[in-house]
A and B are shown apart, each in its own frame.
Chain A
Amino acid sequence: MKRLLQYTAWNWSMGRGPVTLLLVLGAAAECLLLFVAAASANQSALLYGDLVETAGILWVIAAVYLLLPICAQAVQERAAHMTRTSYTLFTLPLSRWELLLGRALSGVIWMILGMAVQTLVLVLLCGPILALQDSVSAGYFLFEVTEPGRLWWSLAECSVLRMMPPNSIPGVIFTAGMILIPSWMMPSAFTHTGWKRVTAFVIALVEQVSLFMLAYPALAGRTTWEQIGQSLQTSRGMGTFLFVLTGVAVAQILWGLWASYRSEAAA
């Protein structure tokens, strides 16, 4: 167990560079989009949660969500072709499934850190964005906003922030699935070579996109995780969709595990 966790930490540390760069670029893009949106008169009357959606933040979140598992594994994958790293991996006292598990766990850690960074960005920007909106809209509204706790209301009604982390059981289950599935599928894709790797990547990306589109209405505040869970229970189509998603993920992971035992790749 300890060796597995140590390998997880090593894999995590190898992805620090690309993932940090990805998260910084994502945060910078969100800052820019939010300030541009808040500076426009067209959006000066919107609530903070509506402004987050209108500014296109959800597309930045989608891009970071798709690229983060790849960035987390890219460095080790590239280094696996080098002598020292290959030697380390070949001589580690861990079985192949433990190596895959370790890489998946490091992906999970990076996903959680990504959520923390997203939360920090939205909380830190709230005050300045509200102030910018007030200055832009000052000439248009002949009344002052006097509701107490305006900052609290803005954060409480921001659907993206409220989902990180979710505060309901259906939300926890969905969020866990959205984190675990790509964290497992991307390292599994890296175990292949050639056209099999391309196929595995495409499957993993399609799965991630499907998961994100399932979560999009909740991120945009148009529905809640409870309502999505209810529709999954009552709607045959939605239930089938989720069953297919789960089946594809399990199949792709098992395929990667099988490939790693066939030693198709160094790691």
Chain B
Amino acid sequence: MKWNKLARPYRACLGTLAAGVALLLCGQACLYMAYPRQAVTLQLKTGNDKELEGFTLEGSWGQTASAAMEFTLSDGVLNQHPNLQSKQEDALSLMDQSLLCVPDEELASMDQQAEGGYVSGMYGAFFLHTSYEGMKYTAQARRLNQMYTLNTLDGSNRSVRFGLGQVQLPQAVTVTAELYKNGRARASYPYLMNAAELENADLGIREVTILDAEDPVGLYVSPGNGENGGIYLVREFCTAEEVAKVVPDVTVQGVAVPSENQPYGTVEAVCPLDAGESLIPCDNWGDARIEDGHWILTRQETGKINLLLLDKEWKPVGKCPLNISMNEYQSVTVLPSLRTDEIAFTVVDQSTTGQIVVLRINQNTIEAQSIMDFLATSAPIAAGYSADGTRLMTVTESRQSLMATLPAEVSGYYNGGAELPSDLSVLSSAVTGWDIQVYNTQDLQRPTLSACLDFGVSQRWRQELWLSGIYGGERRISLYRVTAAWEQAGEATA
């Protein structure tokens, strides 16, 4: 074969490669450029669109991590663009454990009174199963150390442990120790019990709530056992190797096991609360942001509600009393704020009404405050003041009732052959838009503007209707969400 004959497929190869690469790039270019320009439309119902000036509402519409449509309503002008980049989750995946452990110096007395029994088991499947066998000892104890352990689940095997004080129980409780022949299948541990088994608050058991799972992890420890509550930051996790060096062994029934009373890692108290003051539990802690810091609500023993302003290290920078009443049967939900200097949350009780509270903060004090009532069926998802503070905007979801028929054979297909006796009619309330209302802050009863952002009925609702019929219960999916001002500021900084 002559050498020059090798040149013949050269052009064909290059041409085909160029065509393939061009096809791939065109595909991506079409996704970025050929998006629907009217994916979200603004419809004015009543009022003048000039009422929308001074407001910025940003939202996101998407069902997967890597495909979303972002839209912004700023001063009455609606813009939208696709966001096809996957969002990085900075939050750590955590698992916590609160245990009541017998102090190390009392283990010998536990050994004397303990009753033991053989325990064995197996987990895993097929040839990958793992079996374990050992001894389980139970005893009675009244004096226990409360130890809290936080583990990361990102594969790095890091953890932190700290003590929450010692409790003296009025009646003895059963504690358990388990000893296994090798620690790989199942870990041995000394006498302890799970703190969740004692639900009585009068016993002084302190609860820990994860406020922020981003590094550094923020924790709230409730008051109890003579100690005040407070916010703590995890400064340093320990790896499994570091834990093995720090935690000494103790002896249980003559067997050496790691002590459960030894703290490790570093936890710093950043915001101690006053005596009798406790955190009000809220839904959606992630949006409790102000400027580049955080905020929390606390309740004193007198029932007085305070707003605590915290910096980005969760250290207190301001404390503002709130003139609102709240009982422990009401649920509080933090709303994404439209501005970085505003706070919004709803308070809903068992009845059909609720209140939304919107605050504007200036130099760590409340500059403006508005409280509005609403029906629990139409709770706002966002609210905020205009730039000049003279108007208030609320955003609620508008829903449409959708009906479908679930065939019996389809139900049987997804339920492993268990067909329904007949076709099932399913009904669901689907979010198809956002209702926007603007009020004058002097008159929160009558809106000066009413508008709607319309998304249309998504194809996703076909799937959701059938799934609600197959598995029972109405499914609440979140296709549309308000982008909080602090998220926009964070993206702008990045």
* Interface residues, chain A, with chain B CB atoms under 8 Å away: 5-10, 12-13, 41-42, 44-47, 49-50, 84-85, 87-88, 106, 109, 112-113, 115-117, 119-120, 123, 137, 139-150, 152-157, 159, 161-162, 164-165, 167-168, 221, 224-227, 230-231, 234-238
A167 to B463 alpha-carbon distance, docked (Å): 28
Taking the closest CB of chain A, its distance from the CB of B365, in whole angstroms, is: 41
Residues of A within 8 A of B459 (CB): 47, 145, 147, 150, 153-154
A168 to B408 alpha-carbon distance, docked (Å): 43
B198 interface hit (Cβ, 8 Å):
no
Residues of A within 8 A of B156 (CB): 234-236
A234 to B239 alpha-carbon distance, docked (Å): 12
Which of A7, A8, A9, A123 sits near B27, CB closer than 8 Å? A123
10 closest cross-chain pairs (CB), A and B: A235-B155, A149-B36, A13-B9, A116-B20, A9-B13, A147-B456, A156-B67, A146-B456, A45-B462, A224-B86
Residues of B within 8 A of A235 (CB): 154-156
Taking the closest CB of chain B, its distance from the CB of A180, in whole angstroms, is: 15
If A10-B9, A123-B27, A236-B157 touch, whether A141 touches B17 (CB-CB below 8 Å) is no
Residues of B within 8 A of A8 (CB): 13
- Please tell me if the beta carbons of B404 and A140 are within 8 angstroms of each other in the complex: yes
Q: A6-B7, A88-B1, A162-B31 are in contact. List 8 more A-B contacts (CB 8 A).
A: A47-B460, A140-B407, A148-B36, A148-B456, A152-B31, A153-B67, A165-B28, A236-B155
Residues of A within 8 A of B63 (CB): 47, 157
Residue of A13, A45, A146, A161 with highest tally of chain B CB at under 10 A: A45
A-B pairs with beta carbons under 8 Å apart, 16 shown:
A41-B407, A45-B465, A47-B63, A113-B16, A113-B17, A140-B406, A145-B456, A145-B462, A147-B458, A153-B67, A155-B30, A156-B35, A168-B86, A226-B88, A227-B86, A234-B155
Residues of B within 8 A of A164 (CB): 24, 27
B82 interface hit (Cβ, 8 Å):
yes
Residue of chain B at shortest CB distance from A225: B86
Residues of B within 8 A of A137 (CB): 462
A149 to B66 alpha-carbon distance, docked (Å): 17
A164 to B156 alpha-carbon distance, docked (Å): 31
Residues of A within 8 A of B20 (CB): 112-113, 115-117
B409 interface hit (Cβ, 8 Å):
yes
B:1-31 near A, CB below 8 Å = 1, 6-10, 12-14, 16-17, 19-21, 23-25, 27-28, 30-31
A168 to B83 alpha-carbon distance, docked (Å): 13
Residues of B within 8 A of A153 (CB): 67, 458-459
B39 interface hit (Cβ, 8 Å):
yes
B162 interface hit (Cβ, 8 Å):
no
Taking the closest CB of chain A, its distance from the CB of B465, in whole angstroms, is: 7
Residues of A within 8 A of B7 (CB): 6
A85 to B434 alpha-carbon distance, docked (Å): 70
- Please tell me if the beta carbons of A41 and B35 are within 8 angstroms of each other in the complex: no
A141 to B402 alpha-carbon distance, docked (Å): 8
Taking the closest CB of chain A, its distance from the CB of B150, in whole angstroms, is: 16
Residue of chain A at shortest CB distance from B63: A157
Residues of B within 8 A of A112 (CB): 17, 20-21, 24
- Please tell me if the beta carbons of B409 and A41 are within 8 angstroms of each other in the complex: yes
- Please tell me if the beta carbons of A226 and B86 are within 8 angstroms of each other in the complex: yes
Residues of A within 8 A of B413 (CB): 42
- The count of A-to-B residue pairs whose CB atoms sit within 8 angstroms is 170
Residues of B within 8 A of A141 (CB): 402, 404-405, 462, 465
- Please tell me if the beta carbons of A142 and B404 are within 8 angstroms of each other in the complex: yes
- Please tell me if the beta carbons of B85 and A168 are within 8 angstroms of each other in the complex: yes
Which of A45, A109, A159, A237 sits near B466, CB closer than 8 Å? A45
- Please tell me if the beta carbons of B6 and A9 are within 8 angstroms of each other in the complex: yes
A35 to B468 alpha-carbon distance, docked (Å): 26
If A41-B407, A147-B456 touch, whether A12 touches B13 (CB-CB below 8 Å) is yes
- Please tell me if the beta carbons of B9 and A146 are within 8 angstroms of each other in the complex: no
Taking the closest CB of chain B, its distance from the CB of A264, in whole angstroms, is: 23
- Please tell me if the beta carbons of A238 and B85 are within 8 angstroms of each other in the complex: no
Residues of A within 8 A of B35 (CB): 149, 152, 156
Taking the closest CB of chain B, its distance from the CB of A10, in whole angstroms, is: 5
A136 to B460 alpha-carbon distance, docked (Å): 16
Residues of A within 8 A of B16 (CB): 109, 113
B38 interface hit (Cβ, 8 Å):
yes
Residues of B within 8 A of A46 (CB): 463
A246 to B410 alpha-carbon distance, docked (Å): 45
Residue of B6, B38, B461 with highest tally of chain A CB at under 10 A: B6
A137 to B462 alpha-carbon distance, docked (Å): 9
A5 to B17 alpha-carbon distance, docked (Å): 13
- Please tell me if the beta carbons of B28 and A84 are within 8 angstroms of each other in the complex: no
- Please tell me if the beta carbons of B6 and A156 are within 8 angstroms of each other in the complex: no
Residues of A within 8 A of B400 (CB): 143
Residue of chain B at shortest CB distance from A235: B155
Residue of chain A at shortest CB distance from B412: A42
- Please tell me if the beta carbons of B10 and A5 are within 8 angstroms of each other in the complex: yes
- Please tell me if the beta carbons of A148 and B1 are within 8 angstroms of each other in the complex: no
B65 interface hit (Cβ, 8 Å):
yes
A230 to B88 alpha-carbon distance, docked (Å): 9
- Please tell me if the beta carbons of A116 and B31 are within 8 angstroms of each other in the complex: no
A230 to B407 alpha-carbon distance, docked (Å): 42
Residues of A within 8 A of B28 (CB): 165, 167
If A9-B6, A112-B20 touch, whether A157 touches B67 (CB-CB below 8 Å) is yes
Residue of chain B at shortest CB distance from A237: B155
Which of A120, A140, A162 sits near B23, CB closer than 8 Å? A120
Residues of B within 8 A of A7 (CB): 6
- Please tell me if the beta carbons of B456 and A41 are within 8 angstroms of each other in the complex: no
Residues of A within 8 A of B406 (CB): 140
A147 to B460 alpha-carbon distance, docked (Å): 10
